[in-house]
């Protein structure tokens, strides 16, 4: 077994590998760029080596710097994580040449499966089901249009060296093929240094289901069940689960055996994933093979009890797999939610900045569930514009799917992140979505269920009553604390007022306290909407999370102080609340409303990013839907289009400029 390994990665996956290596008694070496000097993976590792400037192309993607770090520290092997150099055969070969072990497959398998075009040719030869398409290189937009017409719309345009949703576009018409081809090729060039793209048939209502395989150097290959990855946005996975609610045992077995056959055909060694798209009739088609550890591997670990990172290390050290296919059993259900630094209310555009508060839920096992949080950040850490916007991967396990979803919803409600925008409200709302809970999924789920983007969830009558109770309980506890302060000049006296009004948004909710006594921890009856409920909580002023019961129902919500009130976040709902006496509420209703400024004549930068192109000129007439500018953020190109017919007045930005969020790109006449 290795005595020391180097992790050629950063963020949560570097921390994840370090945890397993530490448990195995293996020393670890971290590498870091200028931007990651104070990162968590650097702190966790036994040693750390600086490898260059912040841009990945000058640090994490430079193989020579990784090899030099191995020689400097005496690391015997390299775990690449995912992304960066994890699927670069030349890196694997360079390590072998230096006598350093690559904790992953051999160059032959990486080359055969790493290129999407070549992998499909290989899969066809191995008699694996593949999607109809054109596997050759597309020369230009005219060629793309001709091929798409032959295949039949809709088609998928994909970067040959792509991954993570980059360099990928769906086209439903000739015009979309031309535009999609240019965008896919441009993204592929900037993200992977390879602008080759290919075209294949797009399966309508597809599910994205993948099979986890594990192989050693002695010819043993097993599959560890499947993962459902259909909840995607812009072809980027958001929520994954294991097993899939859609597969039956026969389909699972067929997909698994086909995946094992493909792995054996390329003499695969290590953990790998064979991805399929599955149609509504459970027909499955080979998509690609990822010759590395997947982001979503924890859900497989939770349902099989197998540590995939440990097995990768043991296989690389020459050990045999300690189990056979007959030993693999799927136990219970696991869900993974990817917490991203992005604004769900601005079409999920990236958000960067410092984590002023980062309080994940408690990890571990309870009577009914397991909570696991894979992360690479800490309170005070910075989310950089140079790398992937992932903050954490929150996972839950339970005996059944609905129990795992409920556990996930509660864990999300208690996960506090401040300082940046993030997709927690969307993830929390998703856990309550009827279609998700029923398992009626497809890769178009988000686009279909949120066609106009995600908006704040409006509470119904029952939810409003619960939020009112939480708001009033916090107000009573805070008042009680003030009343008991030792230096207070004149404490309040008399009985507690019975009638209160809680303002939620523009609604005024009457709440009565029939008993009129405050105890700490708080337990009292409240009358809301004609019903009496008992509220119990041990919340204290300053606590970020409110945990308690209302009418026997357990609730977990987040509490943030705002001017003269509280903001409560719960199940994707975010409301501002104020607690009034009846007379104060009457006066509040007379207060004028402050309207937001009119920005209809401005094009604002929707996220911090780099201006790639300005597509119009001053004085130009533009039709609705035409491109105004292209802004790149976190390696994704975002096309900003005109929402209506307009005339360009003044252009304030130029290509190459870095802009902050809401910076004015151009003004309209």
pLDDT tens track for 206-223: 899 999 999 999 999 999
**Range 133-149 average pLDDT:** 86
| Sequence-ordered list of residues with C-beta below 8 angstroms from that of 308, at least 6 positions apart, any chain | 212, 214, 271, 293, 297, 300, 301
**Range 231-247 average pLDDT:** 93
Q: Give the Cα-Cα-Cα angle 254, 256, 259 (nearest 5 degrees).
A: 110
DSSP string over 604-618: E-SSSEEEEEE---T
| pLDDT of 153 over the 70 cut | yes
**What is the model's pLDDT at position 300?**
98
The closest alpha carbon to 532, from 514, 548, 545, belongs to 514
Q: How confident is the model at residue 635 (pLDDT cuts 50, 70, 90)?
A: low
Neighbours of 14 (CB within 10 A): 25
CB burial of residue 245 (10 Å; 0-12, 13-18, 19+): middle
Q: How far apart are CA 669 and CA 648, in angstroms?
A: 6
- Would strands 342-343 and 646-651 be described as parallel, antiparallel, or unpaired? unpaired
Fold type of domain 602-668: OB fold (Dihydrolipoamide Acetyltransferase, E2P) (2.40.50)
Give residue-wise pLDDT tens across range 408-439. Answer: 999 999 999 999 999 999 999 999 999 999 99
Give residue-wise pLDDT tens across range 168-192. Answer: 889 999 889 998 898 888 888 877 7
In CATH, 132-201 is 3.30.1490.20:
yes
**What is the model's pLDDT at position 491?**
63
- Would strands 101-102 and 77-79 be described as parallel, antiparallel, or unpaired? parallel
**What is the model's pLDDT at position 493?**
64
Give me the architecture of the 4-103 domain, per CATH. 3-Layer(aba) Sandwich (3.40)
| pLDDT of 656 over the 70 cut | yes
**% pLDDT > 70, the chain:** 98
Cα→Cα distances 390→65, 273, 337, 620, Å: 25, 21, 11, 39
Q: How far apart are CA 205 and CA 553, in angstroms?
A: 37
- Would strands 4-7 and 77-79 be described as parallel, antiparallel, or unpaired? parallel
| pLDDT of 114 over the 90 cut | no
The closest alpha carbon to 335, from 259, 399, 252, belongs to 399
**Range 498-521 average pLDDT:** 91
| pLDDT of 638 over the 90 cut | no
DSSP string over 10-77: -HHHHHHHHHHHHHTT-EEEEEEEGGGTT-HHHHHSSEEEEEE-SSGGGTTT-HHHHHHHHHHHT--E
**Range 553-565 average pLDDT:** 95
Q: What's the Rg (C-alpha) of the chain?
A: 27
| pLDDT of 335 over the 90 cut | yes
Q: How far apart are CA 427 and CA 462, in angstroms?
A: 21
**What is the model's pLDDT at position 80?**
97
The closest alpha carbon to 418, from 395, 391, 394, belongs to 391
CATH number of 461-483+495-588: 3.30.700.30
Tokens of 407: 């556990």
**What is the model's pLDDT at position 205?**
82
CATH number of 207-449: 3.30.470.20
**Range 491-498 average pLDDT:** 74
| pLDDT of 195 over the 90 cut | no
Mean pLDDT of the chain: 92
Q: How confident is the model at residue 127 (pLDDT cuts 50, 70, 90)?
A: confident
> Mutual orientation of helices 107-114 and 89-97 as an angle, nearest 10°?
170
**Range 469-492 average pLDDT:** 83
Q: Do 106 and 100 form a contact (C-beta atoms < 8 A)? A: no
Give residue-wise pLDDT tens across range 586-615. Answer: 999 999 888 778 888 999 998 888 899 999
Q: Give the Cα-Cα-Cα angle 600, 603, 606 (nearest 5 degrees).
A: 110
Give the start-to-end residue ranges of the domains of the chain: 4-103, 132-201, 207-449, 461-483+495-588, 602-668
**What is the model's pLDDT at position 152?**
84
- Point out the residues that are catalytic: 288
| pLDDT of 516 over the 80 cut | no
**Range 524-552 average pLDDT:** 95
pTM, 2 dp: 0.84
Q: What is the dihedral sign for C-alpha 346, 348, 352, 355?
A: positive
User: What one-character DSSP code corresponds to residue 544?
Assistant: S
| pLDDT of 125 over the 70 cut | yes
């Amino acid at each position: 077994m290795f005595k020391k390994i180097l992790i050629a990665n950063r963020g949560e996956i570097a921390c994840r590998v370090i945890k397993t290596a530490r448990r195995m008694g293996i020393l670890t070496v971290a590498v870091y760029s200028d931007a990651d000097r104070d990162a968590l993976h650097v702190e966790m590792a036994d040693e750390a080596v600086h490898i260059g400037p912040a841009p990945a192309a000058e640090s994490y993607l430079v193989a020579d710097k990784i090899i030099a770090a191995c020689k400097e520290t005496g690391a015997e092997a390299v775990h690449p994580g995912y992304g960066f150099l994890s699927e670069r055969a030349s890196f694997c070969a360079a390590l072998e040449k230096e006598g350093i072990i690559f904790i992953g497959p051999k160059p032959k398998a990486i080359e055969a499966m790493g290129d999407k075009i070549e992998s499909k040719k290989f899969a066809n030869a191995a008699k694996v089901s593949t999607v109809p398409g054109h596997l050759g290189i597309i020369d230009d937009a005219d060629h793309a249009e001709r091929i798409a017409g032959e295949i039949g719309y809709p088609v998928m345009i994909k970067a040959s060296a792509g991954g993570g949703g980059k360099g990928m576009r769906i086209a439903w018409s000739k015009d979309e093929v031309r535009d999609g081809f240019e965008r896919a090729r441009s993204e592929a060039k900037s993200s992977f240094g390879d602008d080759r793209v290919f075209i294949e048939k797009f399966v309508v209502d597809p599910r994205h289901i993948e099979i986890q395989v594990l192989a050693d150097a002695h010819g043993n290959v097993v599959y560890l069940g499947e993962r459902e990855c259909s909840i995607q946005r812009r072809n980027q996975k958001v929520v994954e689960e294991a097993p899939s609610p859609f597969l039956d045992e026969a389909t699972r077995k067929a997909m698994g055996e086909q995946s094992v056959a493909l792995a054996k055909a390329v003499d695969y060694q290590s953990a790998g994933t064979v991805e399929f798209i599955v149609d509504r009739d459970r027909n499955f088609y080979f998509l690609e093979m990822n010759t590395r550890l997947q982001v979503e591997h924890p859900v497989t670990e939770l349902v099989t009890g197998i540590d995939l990172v440990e097995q990768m290390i043991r296989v690389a050290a020459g050990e045999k797999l300690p189990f056979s296919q007959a030993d693999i059993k799927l136990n219970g259900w696991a869900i993974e939610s990817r917490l991203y630094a992005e604004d769900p209310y601005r079409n999920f555009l990236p958000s960067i900045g410092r984590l002023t508060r980062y309080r994940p839920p408690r990890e571990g096992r309870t009577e009914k569930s397991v909570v696991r949080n894979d992360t690479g950040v800490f309170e005070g850490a910075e989310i950089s514009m140079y790398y992937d916007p992932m903050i954490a991967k929150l996972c839950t396990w339970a005996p059944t799917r609905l129990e795992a979803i409920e556990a996930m919803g509660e864990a999300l409600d208690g996960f506090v992140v401040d300082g940046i925008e993030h997709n927690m409200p969307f993830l929390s709302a998703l856990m309550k979505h009827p279609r998700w809970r029923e398992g009626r999924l497809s890769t178009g789920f988000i686009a279909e269920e949120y066609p106009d983007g995600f908006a704040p969830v409006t509470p119904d009558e029952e939810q409003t009553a619960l939020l009112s109770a939480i708001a009033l309980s916090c107000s009573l506890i805070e008042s009680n604390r003030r009343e008991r302060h030792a230096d207070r000049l004149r404490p309040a006296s008399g009985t507690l007022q019975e009638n209160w009004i809680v303002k939620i948004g523009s609604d005024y909710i009457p709440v009565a306290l029939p008993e009129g006594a405050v105890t700490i921890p708080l337990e009292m009856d409240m009358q809301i909407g004609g019903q009496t409920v008992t509220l119990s909580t041990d919340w204290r002023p300053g606590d970020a999370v409110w945990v308690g019961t209302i009418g026997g129902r357990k609730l977990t919500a987040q509490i943030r102080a705002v001017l003269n009130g509280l903001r409560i976040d719960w199940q994707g709902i975010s409301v501002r609340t104020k607690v009034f006496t009846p007379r104060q509420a009457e006066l509040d209703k007379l207060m004028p409303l402050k309207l937001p400024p009119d920005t209809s004549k401005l094009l604002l930068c929707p996220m911090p990013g780099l201006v790639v192109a300005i597509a119009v000129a001053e004085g130009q007439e533009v039709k609705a839907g035409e491109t105004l500018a292209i802004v790149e953020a976190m390696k994704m190109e975002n096309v900003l289009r005109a929402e209506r017919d307009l005339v360009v007045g003044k252009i304030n930005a130029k290509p190459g400029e870095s802009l902050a969020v809401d910076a004015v790109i151009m003004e309209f006449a």
